[in-house]
Structure 1
């Protein structure tokens, strides 16, 4: 199966690296690569969590509704931008791990293909942004529309989950990358769905451990997803 866009580097087979897809192989690969290079991953994930906490906590302590509304809007924009920037470097680092490299902490500061990345991030986030206020509107019809948007957002997020990987790995534009992700995920619907559910459960477990487990589960999940993407495409 071919996908639009430029060529990507062919990664040579590595001793001990599984070449057959299974959820256990994906998670095992993510864990082994993380275990062999934990410091930059934990450092970058911790920094992301700290900055995200600062941004989302910036709206506390304000009684004036106008000030609070303005800060909530600013907080949402900053959260989106921060998440997008970190996802950019996480995607690069995960693909490097799949290639057998060991990205250093310094490499988590380098951005790549930021324009298409930002455009894709906006498109992927639109349905979720629309759904939240509708669900909490108090109006039955609007709430129903909000629920539909929320479900649609989950389906879209699932089908387009490899968009960022295509942007970084094959240097595609946002639209091309989304089309490629849609094609690739649909062609591997069962395996990708099972992996997605497994990684989601893994991160829920990490969050339950006072959030500290996310320092491990997020890197493992990102690397596992990148491995699955490269193997299945």
Structure 2
């Protein structure tokens, strides 16, 4: 029996790659601001802006077997150049909108049989990095929220977090805009390459499957070894 998988922000980047992997065997529902590159995929689409719209207004199945929340940002600036509004914007997109989505979907999640929820953090939460104060703060909130949510709702549903390093997606375009930048970024990682959207999507597929049925409350680094290995 096919599962109902809802991907928030699944029309590009990592979300789109997850949809490509899951669509053949599942009922994939995409809720995002634009339809993007979904024309060739057998998925349902809803126009949805996490900053403006209410998830309760969407015509969704009674049960949701999997939720993937993809909206995020890369706002890398020195702390002295960041106004409080920048922190508020990061929190609104990455964290508060996630909270509203999960609260709105609780009835659908409770109707499913042990659904899986996937949120996204960043390697910069565990491994302190300069110029990441605003995004690391927002993603750190997600990690704490995910663990507490997982504890509160076990065994009703499972919650896990993927914490990637730099991944080759449109969101990271400015950081990978030249071959020199790409080479330097790849060399920072023990595995000597930049992550791909498929690297992250493969982990998401695993976390939504029965193969991860004994996993919840975890933050999983898919980061080329950057968070845990010192190669110097």
Shared fold (TM-score, shorter chain, > 0.5): no
- Superposition TM-score tier, normalisation by shorter sequence: under 0.3
Q: Normalising by structure 2, report the TM-score.
A: 0.28
- Structure ID, larger Rg: 1
Query: Which structure dedicates a bigger proportion of its chain to helix?
Result: 1
Query: Which structure dedicates a bigger proportion of its chain to strand?
Result: 2
More contact order relative to length (CA 8 Å, sep ≥ 6) = 1
